[in-house]
Amino acid sequence: MLAKDLHHLFESFNNVRVLIIGDAMVDAYIWGKVNRLSPEAPVPIVTVDKKEARLGGAANVALNVQAMGATPILCSIIGEDMYGREFMDLMQTQKLTTQAIFKSNQRVTTVKTRIIGNNHHLLRVDEEMQSDVSLEETGMMLKAIFSMLENNAIDVIVFEDYDKGVINHELIHKVVIEATKKKIPVAVDPKKKNFQNYKNVTLFKPNLKELKDGIRIDFDFTNEEILEAVAKELKTKSSIENILITLSEKGMYISGKTMQKIIPAHVRNIADVSGAGDTVISVASLCLALKLDPVLMTELANIAGGMVCEKVGVVPINKEQFLQESITLLCK
């Protein structure tokens, strides 16, 4: 591939409209220094320097899509609470549309608080509900989604599933049927609860833990033949077109209609893997929308996911740095 081809491709991302459906949350951070252990228990004492709140979960996918120049539309349900108000403020600060964000007085807004001491991730505290949203709330989401599919030129749909209850079987089934009718590709970043409910989708992107939890089988992922057999069975059983499995430091495995390949990871100084999966599905979905070759899609997603792992905390991709690194690694 030539550098000018990558420049053109990255410019093309600017025209893509992405509908993201899933569990949105607030990623909160407490940054500080650790100089001593507590006399009360063998735990470090963090002297706080600063506190910060960022968009997380499905909203981080929206940030990554936006960072690539594309237009994200996020559909989710948050709580009618203090963190819900903070979430809406963060969305508006980032100039992300809130037209399909619903508030519920039956739920709390998911918050993941990470405590960072001396630039090391020491602890995470989660405030959340994992029960499914109500039938009425699912109905509200479906009405908004169908309206957007009818009135907006949506190029790709992403299910960003964190098992927090926003996504359920009915929502998946009805959205996939509508997407299939309109020939809109569907990409999925799954978790355990709905793993078996995603059928007839274009791209299915589990990591190894999600894959093992989802199929309830442990296997040797270093054996490519076993990996291929697992992917083939899942594709056949659920009528999935492409499976992209992230293999941590080993890279990524892509299994398409007529091919399968492992793309090795690039050497990185890993600081924090938080949010890497969000970046991977964001880049992969944009490639899907532009009908890119699955191997090129995986190579680009592999580079992007690795890049954000070099930053502490959940951060979106930097498009210009991503382009330059892609040119360096992919252009001969």
Provide the token pair at 152. Answer: 């907006």
pLDDT band at 274 (very low <50, low <70, confident <90, very high): low
Whole-number percent of the chain with pLDDT over 90? 78
Which string of b and e fits 92-126 if b means at least 16 CB within 10 Å? eebebeeebbbbbeebbbbbbbbbbbeeebeeeee
DSSP 9-71: HHHHGGG-EEEEEE-EEEEEEEEEEEEEE-SSSS-EEEEEEEEEEEEEEHHHHHHHHHHTT-E
Sheet holding 110-117, edge to edge: 44-57, 24-37, 110-117, 120-127
Q: Which CATH architecture has domain 3-24+58-99+128-330?
A: 3-Layer(aba) Sandwich (3.40)
Provide the token pair at 179. Answer: 């997407």
pLDDT for 193 equals 95
Whole-number percent of the chain with pLDDT over 70? 97
pLDDT at 43 exceeding the cut of 70: yes
Provide the token pair at 304. Answer: 């992007």
**Candidate list 132, 189, 272, 278, residue with the active-site label:** 278
pLDDT for 218 equals 78
Q: Let me know if 278 is a catalytic residue.
A: yes
Bridge partners, residue 115, by sequence: 30, 123
Provide the token pair at 189. Answer: 């970043």
pLDDT for 237 equals 94
Q: Is 131 left (phi over 0), alpha (psi -120 to 50) or beta?
A: beta
- Classify burial at 64, counting beta carbons within 10 Å of its beta carbon; exposed 0-12, middle 13-18, buried 19 or more: buried
Under 8 Å CB-to-CB from 75, ≥6 apart: which residues?
A: 19, 20, 21, 22, 100, 101, 141, 144, 145, 148
pLDDT digit string, tens, across residues 74-114:
999 999 999 999 999 999 999 999 999 999 999 999 999 99
pLDDT at 136 exceeding the cut of 70: yes
* Single-letter amino acid code for the residue at 259: M
pLDDT at 226 exceeding the cut of 90: no
pLDDT digit string, tens, across residues 50-79:
999 999 999 999 999 999 999 999 999 999
pLDDT for 36 equals 94
pLDDT at 273 exceeding the cut of 70: no
For range 267-274, the mean pLDDT: 67
How many Cα atoms sit within 13 Å of 213 on the Cβ side? 12
pLDDT band at 6 (very low <50, low <70, confident <90, very high): very high
pLDDT at 312 exceeding the cut of 70: no
Q: At what angle do helices 319-330 and 294-308 cross, to 10 degrees?
A: 120
pLDDT for 315 equals 78
Q: Is 230 helix (H, G, I), strand (E, B) or coil?
A: helix
For range 28-33, the mean pLDDT: 96
